[in-house]
Amino acid sequence: MHTMTAQAPQATADPVDVDDLAATDDAPTVPELDPEAALLCALLHTTDTTEARHITRHLEASDFLNPRYGYLYSVIADLIAASEPHHAPRVLAALTNAGRMAGHQGRLLADALQVVALLGTPAIGVRTLAADVLDAAYRRHFARTAAELTRASTEAPTDDLFEILLNQGRAMRRETTRRADLTGGPTSGGEGQE
């Protein structure tokens, strides 16, 4: 009988990234059709700093469904706010300087940066792409609000329900205003009301 004396190798794989699983549920599988990837590509290549600053004043990293794209956006936005170049090599340098390029997560960020940098999306229409990203986030926010209100209807004290509804409405009003500010469009009825 043969007995094994060597130890089994230890698993070295990173744990499953739940954000990655969530991001793959709703995101397009082809980067060319993904408004988030297209927006990042356009921002990397735009020379219109006024337009880039306008977008980064209104769009947030949390508006991105793909967490890696959201992180890349935050680096790009920081570079734009600091009036620094925001092309792909500079973003990579900022990621490296922040210690974000190590290990599995670093490889995922580098891969995501490479995908968006080479996508070929023209910088013309970058605000429209930003509006597309924000519109998708706006819809997700509505879905979360509906779920929270449904949960509150069964779990919250009856006396708290109306205040919960008002708080959710105020939050959605802020999102509606932010959306209008990005696109330059009107907000829906009830200007200035809560």
Long-range contacts of 123-128 (CB under 8 A, 24+ apart): 123/42, 123/43, 123/45, 123/46, 123/47, 123/48, 125/42, 126/39, 126/42, 126/43, 126/46, 126/48, 126/51, 126/52, 126/55, 127/51, 127/54, 127/55, 127/182, 127/183
**Confidence at residue 32, expressed as pLDDT on a 0 to 100 scale:** 81
Is the separation of the CB atoms in 60 and 147 below 8 Å? no
Backbone angles phi, psi at 60, to 5 degrees: -120, 155
Q: State how far the alpha carbon of 120 is from the alpha carbons of 37, 85, 188, in Å.
A: 10, 19, 35
Q: Which of 85, 77, 82, 69 is nearest to 26 (CA)?
A: 69
**Residue 186 has what pLDDT?**
57
Segments in the chain below pLDDT 70: 1-28, 185-194
Q: How far is CA 106 from the centre of its chain?
A: 17
User: What confidence tens digit (pLDDT) does each residue in 113-163 have?
Assistant: 999 999 999 888 899 999 999 999 999 998 999 999 999 999 999 999 999
Phi, psi of 126 (to 5 degrees): -60, -35
Tokens representing 86 are 């925001």
Both structure tokens of 120: 């070929």
90: helix, coil or strand? helix
